[in-house]
Structure 1
């Protein structure tokens, strides 16, 4: 029986510890990471004309190694000591689509608790705490070992006492996390999830990316450059209405004090919509608007518990669970009154959008060309350097893997 015919014995990551180990293993096992990168790129290309996730995902593999070497006493392999080519083709891509959003939420929460740069945001209280705080009441240690600090909604961390380095602290960990996730712009992991939004199983941490997508979707539907025959006026009108509600979270144009994905998020989807995928986007929205609404409702219910102590002790993951970051240093001031109103307004608009989508029959032929004309071929925002490779997908893979192997 060939390797491709062998049953997959791969065990999905259950904890943050597992996820980081798998990511570093993919950095080392390049014969496995090549098909993983290729398969995820191929899936993303169905939805985006510029779906180059190769560079940011390879960066995530590499930077996971930095996180592990900082947290762990000995960053050896355990669960993923060996991987097969069959697992790289099938099991690992599937697992990454499930676990990367969960890792994103956990690392986002950890970053804002560990970095003194966020002390002005009433966060950063773990900065001076040891990673291995055996015998202490340090919150960072108890969070990493799932001892008392459960943090509802976040994946378990899964680290054992014997795993953890006894010399590093939160402020040492923060810089290596920031190599994957950024507050000021979309970091590598945030960019990967930009492209995998439509192929990942729904996770609350994707809510921020979903709102950024919705913002560009509504701009597109309202475009005067193309007559969307087959799309109801109701859909266009609702998209016009929803834009102001979305701007509260995508552009920070209200007092909500939190932003989707990052502070530099307003153009993360510029230039990457595929010119024949409007139908697919509508189908995805029909299947996921209720997920988005449910996440927003939960965030609205939870925000009353957001305060410096609840973050420090891990009683809540706050906006990080949903893929949001603080907009300004006064973000926790009257958080309930400042956030619940904009969320309620957005949910009401999303419910109208859901109804409009159900009554609209889209025609892909009438949508063709609008994305190219409207959105252009611009990049993904600050720090992004994505471009369509003129030599085709196979040469893109070959070129990238060659440089990765150097």
Structure 2
């Protein structure tokens, strides 16, 4: 018998500089260690109300239904799509990386009529290309990814809300990888639904998915519940099968649970609620705009250091996320060998990628609690040493000097 089976959990020290998860903020870990209370304890329901209010500020919205879905960030995605998409609905998914394909898969499981447009990985869509597809296809919903970590690209969303309003299209984005480290204006950009996660720029653990729903999205979800309950309106098509096939992810029921009725639906994940609340509190204490600027600075310093090392940044730099950088693996260098050496000799984790980028780029994250100068400098120093060890020659110290120069140009922003 393996005696480790009965050993206390004691994970090895790691500096997580990949595309997520990252090291959780110690303040979030302390919040998670708080004792449990009953789900209908007045203190608990007040924490739920506070969490909703805090995330309204982070999402920059007045949406009443701004809350948590218990589960990883994918739980938030599935809850929104399962609750909003009716069987047979035509949806449009602009695909510029792996997670656009994920939206397609989930939408197909909702029995949607899924249509895609694509650009090469490393690029993003122009608004006119998306509008042309909407005019041609006339979808009920536009399903987008804001930041796709597989390519490190950030899709501009600011002009898409007006396009969706003009064509009466529901507008959703998955902001798991970008939320908190890049601008996202739910109300100003006309977003009907957004989902996110804690384990990236919010500096927490995976396991809770903040979401926000516009009144238009709420109405779409509520109408489906009317059909399930045998109440039909003029808006419903005869013979249409609209049942939501998940109880757990039925946002109509989740709204009733988070609302003043507190109708029993599930037992709230108390420790994750505490974590999500603390993530939001910490970000708002810093200031959302300051936090976004911090992510931008450390991302830029990392890029400066990598280029100073003689490495090439992947993709359209104008549209990359603040918090994740793709690095082209030099010819003749075995990417996995470098990653293993960083992990085993320096306890630093960086990421590989997927699909057509498998083995071609590394992905390095500067996000959440790890969007810090010391983390960037440690990673650059270690990567330079490992690359030299494996035959990629650099000008010793040039990477750190380039990063220092970038920091010196923005004194006062670092944390």
Higher helix share: 1
Same fold (TM over 0.5): no
Superposition TM-score tier, normalisation by shorter sequence: under 0.3
Higher strand share: 2
